[in-house]
Amino acid sequence: MSGETSEALSVACNEMDTLFRGVADLSISSDPPRVESHHHLTTSLEEEDFTLRDLLELPIEICERRPTCLRCCRPEKVCLCPFLPGCPLDVSTSLYIVQHPAEESRVLRTVPLLAACLPPEKCKVFVGRRFSEERNPELAAVCQDRRTLLLYPGPEAQNLQDLNEDLMGDEQNIIIIDGTWSQAKDMFLRNSLFHLPKQVQLNSTPSSQYVIRTQPTNMCLSTLECAAIALSIMEKDPVIQEVLLKPLRALCSFQLEHGAQVHHSKEHLLKTGLYDKPLPKNKRKMKRIQKLITNQKI
């Protein structure tokens, strides 16, 4: 750690210390006066420590006290409602998002934007890591439904675009896992319920438009992008994709105007010759990078 960083950190720690002492003082002052004992001091310090730990673990978003728009869940000043459709899209497919708990507390979330574009009964979100028939009867019933598809890439997955017409009936369900690549993988592997529906993937996908969060390869799309493409295919209506991606584009251009950096995937940077870090000398690492350039499959 550099001297400057550690100094800044120690200043921040001192400030926090003062803050928490203030909080502790307040809570003590509301109690009736009592005799100070060594024991009391110890528990009070322990409690203070516990509070500090707890506070540090809270998601950053909690600190924001800005008024939030109820429709798009964005702070009111940067509300994206003008980019949402006037009324919810009329779709026959129902979307089920299974969301990793860490995703729910991110500041930049795309699922609320998606939900705001669709009728509430056509877009349901289930938050958790593990799902079972006992605890999640509704989701379990969807997984057991023959009309349900699970969007998750892999060797077993069929391209959604190539699905047989008779598998693409009316009122189908599609399940999408919302989380980072490794969270989604863990959720897919450890939930046997997710092995019941037919597994599908999106084959020819454009490079992610969601440029604020770095995507490991161009195939990694945000949940909103996946849902937009999948719904367009299932409903055979390319307009759906346009309507759903509009708020995402607005979100990205707003973030970029306010200093966020464009995060292209490593794959994109390598292909366009913009990758500015020295290439590894290690042969195995070099091979992995070569594979990233030539092979689109994850």
Which residues contribute to the site for Zn ion (CB under 5 A)? 69, 71-72, 79, 81
Shortest distance (Å) from residue 177 CB to Zn ion: 26
Dist. CA 222–CA 149, nearest whole Å:
18
Shortest distance (Å) from residue 115 CB to Zn ion: 12
Q: Which is nearer to Zn ion, 233 or 251 (CB)?
A: 251
- Distance between alpha carbon 64 and the CA centroid of its chain, in Å? 19
Q: Which is nearer to Zn ion, 77 or 277 (CB)?
A: 77
Please say whether the beta carbons of 213 and 265 come within 8 A.
no
Q: Which is nearer to Zn ion, 117 or 231 (CB)?
A: 117
The SS3 of residue 201 is strand
Shortest distance (Å) from residue 80 CB to Zn ion: 6
User: Which pair of structure tokens corresponds to residue 54?
Assistant: 């707890």
Q: Which is nearer to Zn ion, 95 or 113 (CB)?
A: 113
Inter-CA distances, 167 with 53, 160, 231, Å: 51, 10, 15
Shortest distance (Å) from residue 66 CB to Zn ion: 12
Residue nearest Zn ion (C-beta atom): 69
Q: Which is nearer to Zn ion, 53 or 66 (CB)?
A: 66
Please say whether the beta carbons of 160 and 232 come within 8 A.
no
Shortest distance (Å) from residue 67 CB to Zn ion: 11
Number of neighbouring beta carbons within 10 Å of residue 184: 20
Shortest distance (Å) from residue 82 CB to Zn ion: 8
SS3 content of the chain, % helix, strand, coil (to 5): 50, 10, 40
Q: Which residues contact 264 (CB under 8 A, 6 or more apart)?
A: 207, 211, 214, 272, 274
The SS3 of residue 96 is strand
Please return the burial class of 111, using the count of CB atoms within 10 Å of its CB with bins 0-12, 13-18 and 19+.
buried
CA angle 102, 105, 110 (to 5 degrees): 95
Dist. CA 67–CA 79, nearest whole Å:
10
Shortest distance (Å) from residue 243 CB to Zn ion: 16
Q: Which is nearer to Zn ion, 72 or 142 (CB)?
A: 72
Shortest distance (Å) from residue 114 CB to Zn ion: 14
Q: Which is nearer to Zn ion, 23 or 79 (CB)?
A: 79
Please say whether the beta carbons of 54 and 16 come within 8 A.
no
Q: Which is nearer to Zn ion, 71 or 263 (CB)?
A: 71
Inter-CA distances, 132 with 3, 37, 191, 193, Å: 50, 50, 8, 7
